[in-house]
Amino acid sequence: MLKILVVEDDINIRKLMCAVLEQNDFETYGAEDGIAALDLMDKYHIDLVVLDLMMPNMDGYELTRQLRLSWENLPILMVTAKQEPKDKRQGFLAGTDDYMTKPVDEEEMVLRIKALLRRAKISIDHRITVGKVVLDYDSLTVWREHMVITLPQKEFYLLFKLLSYPNMIFTRLQLMDEIWGMENDTDDHTLNVHINRLRDRFRDWPEFEIVTIRGLGYKVVKKI
């Protein structure tokens, strides 16, 4: 059973999150702040951390930075009442993998956690398989039966990101931050060029399709 650590200073919210996760077949641990969380991390194997941002003793930003020092590939979901873009940006810069704002939709939280856990496995394997298609992260190659395509680095990372979370919508800003970095001057045009190149390369492949969500961004839809 996968183990999830919930770090939340509000005891009622912490208990509710743990109860929801246990109903979905996860084993849970609870911590009231970052110091208690790090103590539990040293005692138990934890598969994923859900953490609040505003906590006493050590806030979520600092906890995330500390976790990243020792658990580089640990999936982290930040849950907070702060909704400003600058707060989300700071969270991603600290090292979180995903970000939700309160009040939390319980079903969405579980879906995001499952997606992060799938992504963690993909990260370890460095490979995604969709039907007959295999993406190999180390060689930047896409295989389908006897066909092998080596993609430019940014195109590959973009496709790998989208296929890691099928049906999840990524905003343009998220993709630009993830692939090109937050301090880069990449604009919408650069992202659109890369998306169009990927579409041209894989237009006739039956396994997946890159879909534009008007006004938001992109997602990949599995077709088989």
Helix (H, G, I), strand (E, B) or coil at 182: coil
pLDDT the model gives residue 61: 92
- Do 114 and 121 contact (CB within 8 A), yes or no? no
Q: Answer whether residue 122 shows pLDDT above 70.
A: no
Model confidence band, residue 182 (pLDDT cutoffs 50, 70, 90): low
CA distance 200 to 197: 5
pLDDT the model gives residue 184: 60
- Do 204 and 196 contact (CB within 8 A), yes or no? no
CA distance 185 to 134: 31
10 Å Cβ neighbour count for 206? 12
Structure tokens at 200: 């041209």
Percentage of the chain modeled with pLDDT above 90: 57
Give the mean model confidence (pLDDT) for residues 36-48. Answer: 91
HEC assignment per residue over 142-174: EEECCEEEECCHHHHHHHHHHHHCCCCCEEHHH
Helix (H, G, I), strand (E, B) or coil at 29: strand
Model confidence band, residue 167 (pLDDT cutoffs 50, 70, 90): confident
CA distance 111 to 180: 26
Q: Sort strands 3-7 and 27-31 into parallel, antiparallel or unpaired.
A: parallel
Model confidence band, residue 173 (pLDDT cutoffs 50, 70, 90): confident
CATH number for the domain formed by residue range(s) 3-122: 3.40.50.2300
Helix (H, G, I), strand (E, B) or coil at 31: strand
Mean pLDDT in the chain? 89
pLDDT the model gives residue 186: 67
Q: Answer whether residue 183 shows pLDDT above 60.
A: no
| Residues paired with residue 144 on neighbouring β-strands, in sequence order | 133, 147
Model confidence band, residue 124 (pLDDT cutoffs 50, 70, 90): low
Residue with tokens 């183990």: 3
What does the angle CA 132 – CA 219 – CA 108 come to, to the nearest 5 degrees?
105
pTM: 0.59
Determine whether domain 126-222 maps to CATH 3.40.640.10: no
Q: Which sequence spans correspond to the domains of the chain?
A: 3-122, 126-222
pLDDT tens by residue, 59-102: 999 999 999 988 888 999 999 888 788 888 888 889 999 999 88
Backbone angles phi, psi at 61, to 5 degrees: -60, -50
